[in-house]
Amino acid sequence: MLTDKDFSNDQHGWAEFLPERTPNNSCKGQLRSCWAIVGAGFTGLACARRLAELHPDDEIILLDARAVAQAASGRNSGYVVANSQFGGPYDPEQYDHYSRINRLNRAGLNLLSEQIGKHNIECEWHEKGFYHAVADNTSLKEVGYFTHYLEDLEIPHTVLDQSRLTEKLGTEWYQSGVHVHEGALVQPASLVYGLADSLPENVTLYENSPVINDLNKVTGFPITLHTPDANIVTDNVIVTANFEANKIGLNKRYIIGSTLSGSFTRKLSREELDSLGSLKQWGVLSLHDAGATVRLTQDGRLCVRNTAEFNGGRLLSDQILEQRFDHHRKAFENRFPQLKEVPFEFSWSGVEGVSRNFTNFFQNPKKGLYLTGGFNGSGVSKGTAFGTAMAEYASGEQSILINDCLASSKAEWIPPRPLLDVGVWYTLRQLIKSVGRDG
């Protein structure tokens, strides 16, 4: 049986920039509810909010194995994607698929924007889109592929050469890129805190309360969830724990956790900020699958995220994270030689759920049990959309949003370890060999 030690946590991430927050109480005793949600990230928070709207007289329990914002929702790079990038040549036969994915992204973006406005959530929301760029000659073709896709789907964008990117970003490192006008940058931990603190009154959030029983072996109805200090009997369980659903017996062999890491500088001085481009904040996503993600935040920090590895779905130890620091540093100094004396202040790792064929999960495996997850690096917007749709689906509603979620492709089987380790090692090795200046 699992314990809370099976859910790694090191207190790093975007929450380090915020005032210390006192977590909600953990779950204790014998409880009974109509609904229980497992996982209080963007997906679980959206699901709880929508369930509360649909069932104002029902008690809803929301569980998280950690304190909120200490899992992926507070450790991503803060990109709220409106339009996904699909690597490689544009395929017109995939037009409907591309459109469906982007409807989901935009639904999540719009839902978050609405909640931020309604509850006055301070989270450095910056809805000006972001940049997709390349630095290596071998990746230049991706600009053409990406532009063809954007043009065919009529997605607002601007193609930029090296000089225009330099003027905006303050670095000559990128050869070419595309500004996609839709999308937002955010301080993700601030957003998670705000969403958690503004939940409807009929939602009770319990933190540091991991579910520890195997839900695949649960029989009978209603369903009983076990945490270290509580038993919860509930009519409906919605699992929004992404790749960690496999720890409680669900989705095994169909999703894994990829561990990423990055570093933040201290706040830049006015003189240092003036050495950068004309924009006060921005985000760059590499058009290479293994390329670096770089941000200038609203509070004047530069952030570089450029490592990915298989670590059994766990965070990196502080010792290993220190080793990755040099890789972050090299990417930073390559891009900003004028700031080579600026130190990093924080480093962090986080885990994203990745399916073999990059699909999403939206399932009802048995009576009273629902599952959604697998957002492959765009969980802020897409996870919000899937969580909202799952609340509606479990309530018997019908909508275009639900239909878009149900249309997700069936996930491909992932082999067990040690075959998994060999396959991931080889895949990552090939990506790293090809990344060149984009790393």
Q: What is the pLDDT of residues 219-228, one digit of tens each?
A: 889 999 999 9
Q: Is residue 270 part of a domain?
A: yes
Q: What is the DSSP pairing of strand 230-239 with strand 29-38?
A: parallel
Residues comprising the chain, all counted? 439
Span 94-121, average pLDDT: 98
Q: Which of 101-105, 245-249, 354-358, 382-386 has the lowest mean pLDDT?
A: 354-358
pLDDT digits 0-9 by tens, 186-207:
999 999 999 999 999 999 999 9
Task: Report the half-sphere exposure of 371 (CA within 13 A, side-chain side).
Answer: 22
Residue type, 304: V
Q: What is the CATH number of the domain that holds 301?
A: 3.30.9.10
Task: Supply the pLDDT for residue 418.
Answer: 78
pLDDT digits 0-9 by tens, 288-331:
988 999 999 999 999 999 999 999 899 999 999 999 999 999 99
CA distance 331 to 302: 12
If asked whether residues 338 and 375 sit together in one domain, one would say no
Span 49-66, average pLDDT: 98
Q: Identify the bridge partners of residue 184 per DSSP, sorted by sequence position.
A: 80
The yes-or-no verdict on residue 150 having pLDDT over 90 is: yes
Q: Mean pLDDT over all residues of the chain?
A: 95
If asked whether residues 202 and 272 sit together in one domain, one would say no
Cα 144 to Cα 92, 132, 158, 160, 302: the distances in Å are 14, 12, 12, 12, 28
If asked whether residues 21 and 50 sit together in one domain, one would say yes
Please state the domain count of the chain.
2
If asked whether residues 337 and 319 sit together in one domain, one would say yes
pLDDT digits 0-9 by tens, 14-47:
999 999 999 999 999 999 999 999 999 999 999 9
Task: Supply the pLDDT for residue 434.
Answer: 81
In terms of residue numbers, what domain contains 163?
Answer: 130-181+258-354
Task: Supply the pLDDT for residue 4.
Answer: 66
If asked whether residues 278 and 388 sit together in one domain, one would say no
Span 372-379, average pLDDT: 91
The yes-or-no verdict on residue 157 having pLDDT over 70 is: yes
The yes-or-no verdict on residue 425 having pLDDT over 80 is: no
Q: Is residue 213 part of a domain?
A: yes
The yes-or-no verdict on residue 415 having pLDDT over 90 is: no
If asked whether residues 276 and 349 sit together in one domain, one would say yes
Q: Closest by alpha carbon to 181, among 256, 126, 99, 241?
A: 126
The yes-or-no verdict on residue 63 having pLDDT over 70 is: yes
If asked whether residues 168 and 306 sit together in one domain, one would say yes
> pLDDT category, 432, cuts 50, 70, 90?
low
Cα 36 to Cα 198, 213, 361: the distances in Å are 18, 14, 18
Q: Is residue 123 part of a domain?
A: no
Span 91-114, average pLDDT: 98
Of 354, 384, 416, the last residue of a domain is: 354
The yes-or-no verdict on residue 428 having pLDDT over 70 is: no
pLDDT digits 0-9 by tens, 233-287:
999 999 999 999 999 999 988 999 999 999 999 999 999 999 999 999 999 999 9
CB atoms within 10 A of CB 433: 9
If asked whether residues 245 and 142 sit together in one domain, one would say no
Task: Supply the pLDDT for residue 383.
Answer: 97
Q: Identify the bridge partners of residue 363 per DSSP, sorted by sequence position.
A: 371
If asked whether residues 250 and 280 sit together in one domain, one would say no
Task: Supply the pLDDT for residue 289.
Answer: 87
Span 384-406, average pLDDT: 98
Task: Supply the pLDDT for residue 262.
Answer: 97
If asked whether residues 246 and 231 sit together in one domain, one would say yes
Task: Supply the pLDDT for residue 228.
Answer: 96
